[in-house]
Amino acid sequence: GRSTAEPPREPPFNSLWLLDLTVSNARPQPLGVENVLGAFWSPRGDRIAYTTGRSSPGPPGWQANNDLWIARVTASGELVGKRQVLGPIFGGAYGWWGTNYAWSPDGTTIAYAWADEIGIIPLRRARRETLYRFPPYRTYQEWVWVPEPSWSPDGRYLVAVLHDPPTGGLPGGAPVNPEDSPRFGIWVLSTDGEVAARLVEEAGMWALPRWSPERTGPGGEPESLIAFGRALNPYASENSLYAVYVMDRDGSNRRRVYPLEVGTTDEVPLLGPHLPDVAWSPDGSQLVIPDRGDLFLVDLTKQQVWQLTLDGQAQMPRWVGGGE
């Protein structure tokens, strides 16, 4: 016969905690949310968005729900007003791995990226709006490559690495499966769907472009830059070394900023593999780059680089306050 008993609940594989860095010797505080695959603060720092998954016996150890939740954080560190923006969605190209999200500067929209698609989620409409589709990348391993979008300061554009289709074919004329293409380009997409343009060809899968804050240009006009990596071997970019470049928002005026172009690559080792997430200063004039456990400050105006740490234990830099 049928049983009405509920199946045993799987133990959570993690939980979400909050730590107040403004309080000396603060203790981590549980927020009562389990099985979190990703969580990120709103631009104002008053809300948290997160996505969840379920335990899975096989690699990678989870099955993504590809959902989206938002909750407000009170002054006392409690999570209140929990709201499900998007329900679970399964299937699709490598949907079990999960979704990457990025909050817009004004907090009204969240960008999303799957293994074969990138788009936006206007929070008032609470639905996905596809901006661009591309062939997923077949890694032949137990992980999935997914773009990591970055917003322009005005919230009108996204920049991201996307998987490009192959050019040409195999010896003998046989076509290349699009999922096996080694080509990854840097693309800019407008949130109204009108613009989809490749800024850099064959940048590498870990190029990780990051848009700078807005600053005032020489003529008084607002401007912004894009920092990105470029693979030394773009056709084997998974394990390639990378250098960091900056360019204007339209892809012009590209220049290498780290390592500085002096000597040979043997004298000045490049980053990689896996380009780290660089951190822009609030005024858009400097970058902090983690490299082999230490932090390096790149001043774009002076075209100089300074090493900030020496202990080999630094990673994930973030600017605070006014950036001084």
Number of domains in the chain: 1
Confidence of residue 272 (pLDDT cuts 50, 70, 90): low
How do residues 21-39 score in pLDDT, each as one tens digit? Answer: 888 899 999 999 999 999 9
**78 domain-assigned:** yes
**210 domain-assigned:** no
> What is the residue-averaged pLDDT of the chain?
90
CA–CA separation, 99 vs 125, rounded Å?
19
How do residues 50-68 score in pLDDT, each as one tens digit? Answer: 999 999 988 899 999 999 9
In sequence order, the β-bridge partners of residue 84 are 69
pLDDT of residue 9: 67
Confidence of residue 8 (pLDDT cuts 50, 70, 90): low
pLDDT of residue 171: 58
Q: Is the pLDDT of residue 262 over 50?
A: yes
Residue-level length of the chain: 324
Instruction: Give the CA distances from residue 309 to residues 105, 275, 286, in Å, rounded to whole numbers and listed in that order.
Output: 30, 19, 16
Instruction: Give the CA distances from residue 7 to residues 1, 32, 65, 245, in Å, rounded to whole numbers and listed in that order.
Output: 16, 22, 19, 53
pLDDT of residue 264: 41
**25 domain-assigned:** yes
How do residues 278-306 score in pLDDT, each as one tens digit? Answer: 999 999 999 999 988 899 999 999 989 99
**85 domain-assigned:** yes
Percent share of the chain, pLDDT over 90: 74
**63 domain-assigned:** yes
**103 domain-assigned:** no
Instruction: Give the CA distances from residue 63 to residues 49, 98, 144, 313, in Å, rounded to whole numbers and listed in that order.
Output: 19, 8, 13, 32
Confidence of residue 266 (pLDDT cuts 50, 70, 90): very low
pLDDT of residue 305: 92
| Token pair 């970019």 in the structure block, residue | 237
**74 domain-assigned:** yes
**57 domain-assigned:** yes
Q: What is this structure's pTM?
A: 0.91
Give the domain range for residue 66. Answer: 9-90
How do residues 100-147 score in pLDDT, each as one tens digit? Answer: 999 999 999 999 999 999 999 999 999 999 999 999 999 999 999 999
Confidence of residue 170 (pLDDT cuts 50, 70, 90): low
CA–CA separation, 282 vs 300, rounded Å?
13
